[in-house]
Structure 1
């Protein structure tokens, strides 16, 4: 039995982790618990030495003192303020009116707004929840296919995973030892290509199955002409300015990602104040959610550090290769 454990420690660790995740255990606690448990077994079997874990406290402290990860709460706070201040509703309503006369117009609007929200929030939950609550009832009311409507909303909401300022890219940059700016620059083109592919799919559906993506009826088009143009400019300029304030300064080397996130959070507060939607209740909700999400990220990184230390100690990296 001991010989079997020594020979198969890495695949057993991986299989147990998958089983724990499928059972619904929190990722952070599953990683940390398995790392410590298999580490104890490895030490008892002579496969690992206790000295391997002497550097563990320093590694965990390094996570807490990492300046790069300071960008996570800033971008999270920015996204939550924008999501709760009604920017998504304004964008979806206005862009839906703009694309309404064409088949699939509401689907195009969802994709466009999903990409725009991804570039301003960086938080997947904010994008998906906002568009799901607002867009899905409207799309179903005007005869959109349920499967297509749900798929477009879910796919567009997850663009926040790849389009900067994605929180996932910040964590990846930290783990890979690369700059956040490089990760953002490398993710822009794939994000835009993915957005274009979503729109192309909707175009194909509108050509071959037009009943699945009908145009808005004339009675639902409340804005026309210059009123529509003025409304589009009024709604689009603030988020575009915020995108330039955050991503533009990072790409131009004017600000670090942490500084860009701080400016984005300040800009989001300013937009909410200008739109008369800033309140103590909004601030309290945003700060509570920011603290929770940031804690999730830090706990996952700590758990991953414990797991990866043991996994490499049992030659798990060689097993993966």
Structure 2
């Protein structure tokens, strides 16, 4: 590549990093840098402007991607669950269940954080919600402020790694494209693919191990030093009935099992699973909203379950000229069940609208989805110009020159991702970094699923690390009197060390991320 092209590439990356640190919106930074440096490349004769002709086709492909349709569905599910007041009930029930043991409230926060993270996947919302609800209770029962805030911050970030998470959908789509490009660059035309389901399966074991490590640390520390997390007195803790546990736990767990199970079993695509999650969250919110009878919601849930059973035993395809009598009767039953399900959905929509839940949820879903897709479009233009200026050769030369071969290159990329985790969101980092570095790493022999899980764990660690971890700023906005920022920074350090241990385990044992996908998918 020419010297001018090299300097334009360097200037492009320098401008990107500079404006990111200034705090400008990433979608505008990506688009602006691409336009300015693409124009300079055309002026100096080092960039072929005909490459921009591929931009419209790439954007159209992104906007019509069936996998990416799952993003607004998952965002809607998370927002609806967040506004349906599930978190307070979960925290109260778990607090009563574990509160009588040392560190019980902290363990409760971790369990609820894992459930909310898996269902909502919105780190900021989860941390703030648990900070508002759990932190005052922990302070009231004389918990160490550092231990309490550290537990809440760590639990709140579990949504980055526990599937199904919205960021996994974006990561899966970008990784699949990078993996395809890597194989084409190697002259392979019998291309293997990876899917969002592969990433879900790959992240399952590491996420469960990480959650277990959190809980073991909390239990052992409070057993060793009870004053850090004293048990709640029995007269204050009260008892939690089996019926209450079933009420607060069964619905979220069944919803998550339906989403993950259908994806991992190959019954449904991630987009179809996301639709199941969105409808399930809507029905759950409708059950908890308003003062009407729960019968329509229960009947809708039963209808959905019976539809799945019917589909398992009968062929419900429409338009067949000759269908057996049993299939025809099953089709009639399926039509009736569909009407019952539609009735339950309409009732839920009406109730959530009257309670002021549906409007804000839809607005937040639209805003988050627009941000993600706007960033994807900006990153597409940025990547096109960066490659047109010869950026691929620069990245490949730098990574191949790293000592340690592919592992040295992987370490450099992970270090860059870790540092970017301070000013940027997960989605923005994935969209920027993976298309540039992913194809090179995969050409060097890095497994794409392993790489994706390492990325998720690494960014989760970055989100927690002082002094710039975003999670630390989220919780500082809801600190009660007597709890300081120093407590937050002091309390998060042990959990950062646990994160590093979990990351090291996945590095040392790649099968922890690659074994389950190979078995299930």
Under a length normalisation based on structure 2, what TM-score does the superposition of the two structures give? 0.58
Matched residue, 1:263: 276
Secondary structure at the aligned position of 2:238 is classed as coil
Q: In the alignment, is the contact (CA less than 8 A) between 1:80 and 1:126 conserved in 2? A: no
Match of 1:246 among 259, 268, 280: 259
Under a length normalisation based on structure 1, what TM-score does the superposition of the two structures give? 0.93
Structure 1, gaps ≥5 residues long: none
Shift of 1:145: 2.1
For the structure 1 residues 52 and 214, does the alpha-carbon distance in structure 2 shift closer, same or farther, using more than 3 Å as the test? same
Deviations 1:216-248 (A, max 9, x none): 12332122xxx5333212211111111122111
Q: In the alignment, is the contact (CA less than 8 A) between 2:6 and 2:389 conserved in 1? A: no
For the structure 1 residues 51 and 263, does the alpha-carbon distance in structure 2 shift closer, same or farther, using more than 3 Å as the test? same
- Say whether 1:279 aligns with 2:292: no
Following the alignment from structure 1 to structure 2, what is the Cα–Cα distance between the partners of residues 156 and 13? 37
For the structure 1 residues 317 and 194, does the alpha-carbon distance in structure 2 shift closer, same or farther, using more than 3 Å as the test? farther
Matched residue, 2:155: 156
Following the alignment from structure 2 to structure 1, what is the Cα–Cα distance between the partners of residues 216 and 172? 31
CA RMSD of aligned residues (A): 1.7
Matched residue, 2:379: 304
1:182-201 matched pairs, under 5 angstroms? 182-201=198-217
Match of 2:250 among 230, 237, 240: 237
- Say whether 1:51 aligns with 2:64: no
| Number of residue pairs the alignment of both structures matches | 316
Shift of 1:200: 2.5
244-253 or 8-17, which deviates more: 8-17
- Say whether 1:181 aligns with 2:197: yes
- Say whether 1:314 aligns with 2:389: yes
1:1-321 matched pairs, under 5 angstroms? 5-177=4-176, 178-223=194-239, 227-277=240-290, 278-280=351-353, 281-320=356-395, 321=399
Following the alignment from structure 1 to structure 2, what is the Cα–Cα distance between the partners of residues 318 and 196? 42
Structure 2, gaps ≥5 residues long: 177-193, 291-350, 400-521
Considering Cα pairs closer than 8 Å and 6+ residues apart, tell me whether 1 or 2 has the greater RCO: 1
Q: In the alignment, is the contact (CA less than 8 A) between 1:123 and 1:160 conserved in 2? A: yes
Following the alignment from structure 1 to structure 2, what is the Cα–Cα distance between the partners of residues 208 and 52? 64
Task: Name which one, 1 or 2, has greater alpha-carbon Rg.
Answer: 2
201-210 or 157-166, which deviates more: 201-210
Following the alignment from structure 2 to structure 1, what is the Cα–Cα distance between the partners of residues 11 and 145? 42
